[in-house]
Amino acid sequence: MEIAFYIAGTVAVVATLMVITRHNPVHALLYLNVSLLAHAMLFYLLGASFAALLEIIIYAGAIMVLFIFVVMLLNLGKETAEQERKWLKVKVWVGPTLLAAVLFAEFLVLVLSSGQGTYSPAVVSPRQVAVSLFREYLIGVELAAMLLMAAVVGAAHIGRHKRLVLHRFLKEEVEKEEEKHEAVML
């Protein structure tokens, strides 16, 4: 079964590479969805079936739909792709990529020099996860609930569509000027 693990890992890496290099936002989103499904496969092979389910249902199902809705709302299409093609030049991405590659090479050397050896992943059942979640990590669950509540209220507040008014005094001045203008016109 190791071959399934390596295939899923390769798919995840290739799909992620495609995400960060595509010009069209919708293509990048679809590649990210493939990458998330590959992650779910990896989780399942590591014996974490509950995490795999959550990855598919919440990440690939809910969060990606949110992204796709925003891309639809903003009407990002060919013009965005053209703009991205203009922005993504070689001299822009080669420096950061090289530096990140250096950091990853350091990480590689450090991890490979530890010498842990192979193991068979232990299957951790959803029951164990639930018991741990609602016993030892109960306070974390409550904090996560508060975070989600704050995020919902915050998103509803930020996303409200209102007219651009720089400052209320400026708005009054603009109105006064308009009144003056109208009086002059009359």
Partner 1 sequence: MKPSVSIEVVVLLAGLLFALGIVGVIIRKNIIFMLLSVEIMLNASGLAFVAAGSRWGQPDGQVMFVFILAMAAAEVSIGLALILQIYHQHKSLDIDNLKEMNG
Tally Cβ neighbours within 10 Å of residue 185: 6
Nearer to partner 1 by Cβ, of 17 and 174: the residue is 17
> Do 50 and 31 contact (CB within 8 A), yes or no?
no
Size of the site for partner 1 (CB under 8 A): 86
Q: Would you count residue 41 as binding partner 1 (CB under 8 A)?
A: no
Binding mask 78-97 for partner 1 (x = CB under 8 A): --x--xx--xx---xx--xx
In angstroms, rounded to a whole number, what is the distance separating the alpha carbons of residues 110 and 23? 35
Nearer to partner 1 by Cβ, of 94 and 180: the residue is 94
Tally Cβ neighbours within 10 Å of residue 40: 23
Task: Write down the least CB distance from residue 179 to partner 1, Å.
Answer: 26
Binding mask 104-123 for partner 1 (x = CB under 8 A): x--xx--xx-x-xxxxxxxx
Q: Would you count residue 70 as binding partner 1 (CB under 8 A)?
A: yes
Which pair of tokens denotes residue 99?
A: 């530096």
In angstroms, rounded to a whole number, what is the distance separating the alpha carbons of residues 29 and 62? 13
